[in-house]
Structure 1
Amino acid sequence: MNGSSADRLRRLRWVLTALFTVTNAIGLVVFAWIVVAGDSEQGVAKIDADLDRVTSSVSRLVDFDGGAIGFSLVNTDPLNGDCPQFAIMPGGAPAFQAHLSSRSCVPMDTGVLNGLAAEAVRGGRMVPGYQRGVDGELVRVRAIPLVSRGGKSIGAVVAVADMGPQQQHHVQFVLMVIGGCVVLISALGFAGHVLSGRSIRPAAAALQQQEILLAETAHDLRAPVAALRALAEAALDNPTQRADLLPRTVRLAATMGSIIDDLLVRARLAAGVEQLAIQPVWLDQLVTGLVEDAQTGGAKVTVTAAPTKVDVDPTLVQRAIGNLLDNAVRYGRKPGEEAIVHITVAGGTVTVADHGPGIDAEAATDAFDRFSSTGGSSGLGLSIVRWVAQAHGGTLSVYNADEGGAIFELRLPVSGS
């Protein structure tokens, strides 16, 4: 697979999103199928309950007095003019005049109704099912036998209900369920994408920082390693020059060690694994002690400091100010002149001013990024200063003085105690 490890991890986010969405979609589809099937069964059950109410009520209203069948009570009952409609048919039993309810809710062939009645009479049981009306509409039917006082089937009551309204309601319900599933699946897909992004983001950031660290290490150590090898080869080929070459080798090795330390600090800060040991620190004393112990190579460094206490990690802040001082001593000088650096400490701000050529205004913002120093360095030292400032909730600013030279301002949070 092409791309960096961080890119592959980001692609994994889409895989996780798809897996999360598909899994939930399958669950929703199964649930929707159960709900839709349940709605259909409930609709049929409701119609069957209405048909059962009609057939059982009408069968009790039929009069068997004197062996003759009478429909006087049926004619006066409200069911006779309501839906579902019904019919009282002989169904092959001793013939009598069939009776149809006064209201025709759905046109039905009387032959079909009599056939259902005949089936109920022959079997002596209730006959449910589906039929088609005269116009082809689907209807639900139920036929129950009429039993005389002697226990003989003498006909049947057939009730008929139009399935059209129930089917229309069921279709609307199905569309509503489908629409709800689409909305829920979309919402779950979006939520899965957000959650997978949040879970992968720390790992992706760590991988990216690791790749940046490797790239910066290779970039910053390539030249010192080549120079160190050249010095070692020169010392081997010229034993008489070893006394001169050895100090240069030691200084170059120290520079390489400083580069590696800066790279590790920045990587840990960027990855969020560096734990700040925040404590109240007298910033003026820290800067004064740092300048006294620094090797400035003959540069003239002055300090003006007012007592100021800040809440910081002293180790990281010391490294950051040391990088500012080192940057000013190395690159803050005019050709052929010694470096002059002045440091001011007041109100939680450390200002480092040099008398060098200054910094290009267009490159001022980029001066804190890696590989972007106007003096020929990797820019990593200033990048460390910016990371330290941000980690403490402070800022790092740079601008040119009117009389020449660059000015760097490191602002740190002042202690409340």
Structure 2
Amino acid sequence: MNHSAADRLRRLRWTLTALFTAMNAIGLVVLTWFVISEDGKRGIEQTDAELHRITSSVSRLVGFDEAIQFNLVNADVLNAGCPQFAILPGGAPTFQPHLSDRQCVPMDIGVLNGLAAEAVGSGNLVAGYQEGTGGEPVRVRAEPLISRDGTYIGAVVAVADARPEQQRHAELVLVVIGGCAVLIGGLGAASHLLSGRSIRPAAAALQQQEVLLAETAHDLRTPVAALRALAETALDNPTQRADLLPRTVQLAARMGSIIDDLLARARLAAGVEQLTIQPVWLDQLVVGVVEDTRTDGAQVTVTAAPTKVDADPVLVQRAIGNLLDNAMRYGRQPGSDAIVHITVAGGTVTVADHGPGIDAEAAADAFDRFSSTGGSSGLGLSIVRWVAQAHNGTLAVYNADEGGAIFELRLPLSTS
């Protein structure tokens, strides 16, 4: 299935958006995983460090004379604080177990003694997660006790409630994941804007091409039809060829002029060429356009006061011609010739006709590229508006109280 160039540009924009968003999302997901992983490790390390402080301190307080003594342990503030601890034989020569005074989290003494037995048996510290008697997660650390003769006689087991740390870590996970999702969404929107900007030159060039083709077809349709009619008439009536050939040459010249003007506009819009701005006597230019235009029965009058503007004379001439042509074609009542009056003063050209006027609801769209009102050519008027905008001027349209449409083309006055 074939797709238009505009469709391909739209798909390209979405492809660029998806690619940019996916690349950033991968980076953010990796960063999120790293932050969460490192925070989890840091939480465990902090808990283990606190437990190590308890086990190492208690180990130094245990006395080793003829029997194990806990006098210093009982007198130390650690005995009444959290984390809690226990001094257990763990399968070594039996002594009476010692539990700290404060129970911060309920633990089965059998579980603690098992950890002590593992530490005594291996001669290494044992650390990990266990469950309290209520199923709550706890972090434990069992450090073996060594007597003066180097034998393992028991272990100090410290226990810390892991719930506060796990809750803090879970909250961090939610914040980081939520922030990651928001960033991915924001990056997706930003990438869509950036991709739109990246293809904007191509879209503008495509639009200019479409406009050029449409306006060329519009402006050449009537001359081509007239040229064909003249040629067919000359073929059918050889005696009229002498009269028809000059008109044919004029039409061909007009077609060439139309093509040159449209190409000039396309090159100007593309930035290949610049406007030829120079001081122009607007009143003389308008009078010249009217004198060079065939009225075909239309009554055209001009009231002009000397006014000089800074403009490109070729483009302004074409804009005036389009306004005049539009007024003569559609500014008439049924069964009567068009009546057009042009006023030039203060950098403004006003073209008024006695036609049916412009529908108020469609007035805002009168200058759109492909719109028309009352049979008028939206393309022809769009060229006039483009000329006005290219000169930092304005083009306005409204209906006269007594009937008919009024077009006002305003150009900047000359400073020289």
Match of 2:152 in 1: 153
Q: 1:148 to 1:18 in 2, by over 3 A?
A: same
Map of 1:81-100 to 2, 5 A cutoff?
Answer: 81-100=80-99
- The residue number in structure 1 matching 2:114 is 115
Q: Is the 8 A contact 1:269 1:387 kept in 2?
A: no
Secondary structure of 1:80 counterpart: helix
After alignment, is 188-197 or 240-249 more displaced? 240-249
Aligned partner of 1:19 in structure 2 is 19
Give the 3 Å change call, closer, same or farther, for CA 402–113 of structure 1 in structure 2.
closer
Long gaps (5+) in structure 1: none
User: TM-score under structure 2 normalisation?
Assistant: 0.84
Whether the 8 Å contact between 1:265 and 1:384 is mirrored in structure 2 is no
The residue correspondences of 1:297-316 to structure 2 (distance < 5 A) are 303-316=302-315
Quote the RMSD (CA, aligned, Å): 3.4
- Kept in 2: contact 1:367–1:382 (CA 8 A): yes
Kindly, what percent of the aligned residue pairs are identical? 77
TM-score by length of 1: 0.84
Contact 2:234 2:241 in 1 (8 A): yes
2:19 and 2:282 map into 1 onto residues whose CA distance is 54
- Do the aligned partners of residues 246 and 328 (structure 1) sit closer, same or farther apart at CA in structure 2, a change above 3 Å counting? same
Aligned position for 1:4: 4
In the superposition, relative to structure 1, how do residues 212 and 157 fare at CA in structure 2: closer, same or farther (>3 Å)? same
The residue number in structure 2 matching 1:45 is 45
5+ unaligned residues in a row in structure 2: which ranges? none
The residue correspondences of 1:231-250 to structure 2 (distance < 5 A) are 231-232=230-231, 235=234, 239-250=238-249
Q: Structure 1 residue 179: deviation in Å? A: 1.5
Instruction: Tell whether 2:351 aligns with 1:346.
Output: no
Counterpart position of 1:33:
33
> Which region of structure 1 is more displaced relative to structure 2, 79-88 or 404-413?
404-413
Q: Return closer, same or farther for 1:158/1:367 CA change in 2, 3 Å cut-off.
A: closer
Q: What letter is aligned with 2:19?
A: L
Query: Residues 311-367 of structure 1: CA distance to partner in whole angstroms, max 9, x if unpaired?
Result: 33333223222333454566667899987765432211123346x646445565555
- Aligned pairs for 1:211-226 (under 5 A) are 211-226=210-225
| Structure-2 residue corresponding to 1:64 | 64
Aligned-pair CA distance for 1:403: 7.0
Q: How many residue pairs were aligned?
A: 414
1:395 Cα offset (Å): 1.9
- Taking structure 1 as reference, are residues 177 and 135 closer, same or farther at Cα in structure 2, changes over 3 Å only? same
Deviation by residue 1:102-128 (Cα, 9 ceiling, x = unmatched): 112222222222222222223322222
Greater Cα offset, 335-344 or 220-229: 335-344
Taking the TM superposition and a 5 Å limit, the aligned residue runs for 1:331-370 are: 342-353=341-352, 357=355, 359-362=357-360, 367-369=366-368
Moved more, 359-368 or 30-39: 359-368
Cα 1:315–1:223 shift into 2, 3 Å: closer
Instruction: Within 5 Å, give how 1:168-247 maps onto structure 2.
Output: 168-229=167-228, 231-232=230-231, 235=234, 239-247=238-246
Change (3 A) 1:317 1:151: same
State the Cα distance separating 1:84 from its structure 2 match. Answer: 1.3
Q: 2 CA distance for matches of 1:335 and 1:118?
A: 113
1:255-404 to 2 correspondences below 5 Å: 255-264=254-263, 267=266, 275-288=274-287, 294-296=292-294, 303-328=302-327, 342-353=341-352, 357=355, 359-362=357-360, 367-369=366-368, 378=377, 380-399=379-398
**Closer/same/farther in 2, CA of residues 329 and 149 from structure 1, 3 Å limit:** same
CA contact (8 A) 1:266 1:387 kept: no
Distance in 2, matches of 1:5 and 1:409, equals 37
| Cα distance in 1, alignment partners of residues 19 and 345 from structure 2 | 57
> Matched residues in 1 for 2:137 and 2:247: separation?
101
1:247-295, Cα deviation, whole Å (9 max, x unpaired)? 2322332332344345445555666766334444443454455556x35
